[in-house]
Chains A and B, each alone.
Chain A
């Protein structure tokens, strides 16, 4: 029943030829660029710094804990950085560690043995500056290998946020410009959800929705009276299957994506390799070169245009240059900024595409931390039900600063959450006592908990930035990023409001509140970094135009989250892909006209 289609055989990269386009990075953005450009018949070389992993043997999604020699844990010589370490230490966090491998905090989640080859070893990938929980995955597919799957659209509340409240900049596009591309992404990749007709969270073209547990239904019904919405998790997961994609199965509700850092070994959850890259390879137009660590966009000195990409073979360390008529940077928000800043030449002394001085700046993301834990008394002691056989719980869209104007903060936040129990009763450790009563309490209460946590928009500020630290180099000798970034008062005020309104919503629904926490987690925790090469119509204050095309270098495009003008409070992956699709259509068109 489950698919086991092998990936297509790769073609050897030809470094003597000039490709139509070179794409750097194979995550959501780079995968989409490869898909769209090859669909236009262009010959594309895709460079990925990491390895290609056999995801089926990495993830083993249905392996039971007791069938694993360490109950799913990674070997003991590996260490996941803790919240406390992120708080009390400065990067680089792996410095002077006694451990053989150090990973970002996501390796402190369940099933760390299944993701230890997916996230980077911090020893190889240091960074400096202010504290930041930077989660990176270097492999074919990037972070889509384990992403959280919440797939949301932005609206004109986001694209025209400055018009709405005066802060920051509007995007150079409106919802009408991107809406057809959101539709294309929905249909090509599959998304589950339930229509709500909200102006601030537009509906997608949904496949079969996931369902709600009893406590979630309670909360949804109660929220209606407050004019707020709880909707099933809008998951970037194909719940009905995709006839046009042989590499992906429909979702069978195994719940594996929630037991691990993430990942789906039947690829019902979108990942870039099976969703985008393998189909692109099947066109015959895509050449994939993994183990290729890009460190410079090279420049034709005669024209100042991009000539190609210099990279080190990640295994041999040998250096190469690939040449293309266009260069598409999609290395992730922070790595793309790093690559542009590293690409200094006479024509581009501050880094390619950086005449504005805005590359690395206006860095923004989502603030996390405030969370509410509740218990539904009526569900205590009820017979066990299947609560986690689905790719996610629920989402409560933004309700602040839409028609109202909050006095203490701008913009808004949403909540992700869910009710019921998973495989392992998470509250056992905080259940007091021991013995038969303890055991019964754990058993009886497991299905009665409901929990949610907020994701809030972080304002972009020019001074929130990353720059190159020439003093520290990564394993390949490439200078690393230095962070100059911290949450401000707006984020702190917003977080306080999250805790207050979250508690109110539970109480209004008759859910007993056990815990309401307003503390903010370390910067970076959301893994939603954005904004370091923003779009705009003014080349003096922005890096890219509305097609993610460099104002300075017309054959250079940056199609990942770095292009976002503001963070909104919605998870960014679906917007990254819709924008990349739109921009790559434009790129193909311009290349065809000889305009690049």
Chain B
């Protein structure tokens, strides 16, 4: 694994990116990191793993990490929380039961930290104060130490995975031009 990227980009993956490739989706994340399973973006209103309250918190966290901006909608519109909920609902339990638990704990810790810092649960705090909570959690992003910091890393990784593989992420945010039939290759012929 590349040292600067503990989430597990392998070097042959990097080579594939380099070769003009899409970064492989699962390759972005090791099993431990990516938490768990799969699953279509579940409707936000019908969580399969989280409680409604947990899902609402996750939805806000994901949107704080990748918000709507003038360029494109954010993680909420891309139903990233539903995607994560589906992955966890389909976790392979002989290996990933602890991953499910880690997400439950992680969300709880966000509220505990928010109470400490802001005197209010995350969703009850102002958007400025929410950002402050996440900023604290993101403090040692490259080398997370505390449970909160580690959860941020996992949350961010999975949010990235869900967002940039979504229709909004690929087409509106990244304006990806490929996966279409070309009569001529793009770029320049060598001279």
Contact = CB atoms under 8 A, between A and B. Distances in A.
A43 interface: no
Is the contact region of chain A dominated by helix, strand, or loop, or is it mixed? loop
Nearest to B185: A211
Contacts of A393: 18-20
A446 interface: yes
Interface stretch (A212-220, A402-410, A547-555): A212-220
A258 B23 CA distance: 9
B104 interface: no
Interface residues of B, number: 84
B178 A423 contact: yes
Nearest to B21: A258
B60 to A, nearest CB: 13
Interface in A417-433: 417-430, 432-433
Nearest to A72: B25
A386 B182 contact: yes
A99 B37 CA distance: 13
B167 A434 contact: no
B24 A254 contact: no
B53 interface: no
Interface size class of A (residues with CB under 8 A): 35 or more
B186 A1 contact: no
Interface in A215-231: 216-217, 220, 230-231
B11 A110 contact: no
Contacts of B2: 515, 517
Interface in B1-33: 1-5, 7-31
A110 B4 CA distance: 20
A220 B95 contact: no
A371 B19 CA distance: 12
B165 A209 contact: no
B40 interface: yes
A247 interface: no
Contacts of B4: 430, 515
Is the contact region of chain B dominated by helix, strand, or loop, or is it mixed? loop
A424 B165 contact: yes
A432 to B, nearest CB: 6
Interface stretch (A73-81, A121-129, A271-279, A281-289): A73-81
Given A388-B20, A434-B134, A64 B25 contact: no
A213 B187 contact: yes
Contacts of B81: none
Contacts of B96: 76
Contacts of A368: 11-12
A423 B11 contact: no
A71 B22 CA distance: 13
B131 A435 contact: yes
B98 to A, nearest CB: 12
A425 B179 contact: no
B38 interface: yes
B56 to A, nearest CB: 19
Interface of A: 1, 62, 64-66, 69-77, 79-80, 82-84, 98-99, 105, 108-112, 194, 208-214, 216-217, 220, 230-233, 252-256, 258-259, 368-369, 371, 373, 384-390, 392-393, 416-430, 432-436, 438-440, 443, 446, 449-453, 515, 517, 519, 521, 525
Question: Can you list the 4 inter-chain pairs with the closest CB atoms, starting with the nearest?
Answer: A110-B24, A426-B23, A451-B18, A422-B22
15 contacts: A71-B161, A74-B26, A76-B37, A79-B31, A109-B12, A211-B187, A254-B180, A385-B177, A387-B187, A424-B169, A430-B7, A434-B156, A436-B69, A443-B174, A525-B12
Given A105-B10, A416-B18, 16 more contacts: A108-B8, A109-B26, A110-B23, A110-B24, A112-B24, A253-B182, A253-B186, A254-B182, A258-B21, A384-B176, A418-B18, A422-B22, A429-B156, A429-B157, A430-B7, A449-B18
